[in-house]
Structure 1
């Protein structure tokens, strides 16, 4: 008869060993760090083996802990994959977590392309911002960062390049970066370094952006479209607007933001048929120039 020993404790240990902390494991399993610590301690007592060395600021797995975790993680991944395969036949819904501007400026405008290719797969978009943790109900997410999210696979999609954008009428008054004026430079509250980075690269580091400030890039880009000033655009948010002529780039200079956009997901989703179709589509779509996508949509 199979004897399964304290499954909650085993789950808590595997998550803590994989993520490197009780706090991260608690977030993944929706319990407190203290609860993870207690379950791991009880598991160690029942096994009669120390699985962690408790250091002041970090956890270090013992030799027994490393051996246990190396066997447990593939088992949990296989269980998650099996569950996904069993449920795939009865539900064809993908939940994609994105920030509000990414949803508005890229995902929603391009979703018809995916629906045309995969009409039987429903995509649900949930928003909340780049800093929102990966949701338990997410099939995948699209995040801006350095590509390091413990416990998640991260595949690069877009380079997050910065480039000022405005209306064509306003662009005609700008011959060189020195023509820019601080009060006309629209700001995004959560990205205060965008303008300083670009202005430094453009050779006008003493110029300070003092224009209207908005919470999200989408709001700033809308303000620029309405002629309020010059917004700092970030790719891919501006690609379709540039291709359609709604906005123009008065200067050719673009500056890397220092991060990239990534498709992030838990490893077991890679074997799920519907997610695999979405993954192939978005990686291909991210690699296509905006002008090519616009032409393809017009032809359709």
Structure 2
């Protein structure tokens, strides 16, 4: 049976005008004139046989029929948008969904994806994040996270150790001669990772609490790393978070003392996915990148004369 539909342009014009309460705002969204929107809505009203708006001098007021139609249309257009996006995202090649914390994704994984695509152009990588209460989803191919052991039912492969080092801008580093100078600095702290500075203080042979001159707290590592780049103070950072900034000279490690915390960065996946073509490619590439990442720690560790720098303490924090 053939559908007897009103004009799609008329429906789009009405839906936009109804959401905005204005023909002018709808015209801007649809990139047409206000007159065109008004005319399309009027033609739709003629087609339906009842008014959709009460037109006032400076506003539009939906009629009861208009309110009912607007709600259904907005849902329908949203559904069409989602369907179009999902179809557009479909590819013929293998797809890999990796769950990864936002800081590691932004500072380490995403900047390296261009290299992955050069080696595996047919594999599509999709990023996803979980959270403290749900660190992995069943529809993910794999996940990268810090912990001491694999999640129940998952295989785990060690990528690199969990290590932290202080970082700051070169300008700020020029004022720091020894770790004890941190007492006169502003320290950048991530609020839900309170143990990382104490771990490093112990590795450096400093007492705790240190009582620095200032302290700035952030809710996430992303914000803390940006604050360090902006010269706000000295941050304590997981080495993968800052390896690129260190290599580029945007950040420096004023004291090359590396403190090891509990756990490691792990690649985890269910055994049933072990032969997944996309995962096979990603695993091979990821381990190569992890080998390179470990070299940063080695370079820093060569200058580490404090024997207590390699230690295990505390609980592995979240990304």
Q: TM-score, normalised by structure 2?
A: 0.61
- The answer (yes or no) to whether the contact 2:165–2:238 under 8 Å persists in 1 is yes
Query: After TM superposition, what 4+ stretches of structure 1 lie above 2 angstroms from structure 2?
Result: 128-133, 289-292
SS at match of 1:237: helix
Shift of 1:208: 3.7
SS at match of 2:240: coil
Written as runs of structure 1 = structure 2, the 5 A alignment for 1:1-300 is 92-129=94-131, 132-181=134-183, 184-206=186-208, 207-208=210-211, 211-289=215-293
Q: Which moved more, 1:244-253 or 1:283-292?
A: 283-292
Superposition RMSD on alpha carbons, in Å?
A: 2.0
Partner of 2:88: none
Query: Could you list the per-position Cα deviations for residues 19-43 of structure 1 after superposition, in whole angstroms to 9, with x for gaps in the alignment?
Result: xxxxxxxxxxxxxxxxxxxxxxxxx
Shift of 1:129: 3.9
- The answer (yes or no) to whether the contact 1:162–1:198 under 8 Å persists in 2 is yes
Shift in CA distance, 112/290, structure 1 to aligned 2, threshold 3 Å: farther
Shift of 1:211: 1.1
SS at match of 1:263: strand
Q: Which has the greater radius of gyration?
A: 2
Alignment partners' CA distance in 2, 1:149 and 1:158:
17
- The answer (yes or no) to whether the contact 1:167–1:247 under 8 Å persists in 2 is yes
Shift in CA distance, 208/154, structure 1 to aligned 2, threshold 3 Å: farther
Q: Where do 5+ consecutive residues of structure 1 fail to align?
A: 1-88, 293-300
- The answer (yes or no) to whether the contact 2:240–2:293 under 8 Å persists in 1 is no
Shift in CA distance, 142/225, structure 1 to aligned 2, threshold 3 Å: same
- The answer (yes or no) to whether the contact 1:99–1:130 under 8 Å persists in 2 is no
Partner of 1:5: none
Shift of 1:181: 2.6
Query: Could you list the per-position Cα deviations for residues 249-298 of structure 1 after superposition, in whole angstroms to 9, with x for gaps in the alignment?
Result: 00010100212100000011111112101111101111014889xxxxxx
Shift of 1:198: 0.7
Q: Where do 5+ consecutive residues of structure 2 fail to align?
A: 1-90, 297-319
Alignment partners' CA distance in 2, 1:187 and 1:220:
7
Query: Could you list the per-position Cα deviations for residues 124-172 of structure 1 after superposition, in whole angstroms to 9, with x for gaps in the alignment?
Result: 0012346533101100000101023110001001111110000001101
Alignment partners' CA distance in 2, 1:161 and 1:284:
19
Query: Could you list the per-position Cα deviations for residues 193-213 of structure 1 after superposition, in whole angstroms to 9, with x for gaps in the alignment?
Result: 001111122122230465111
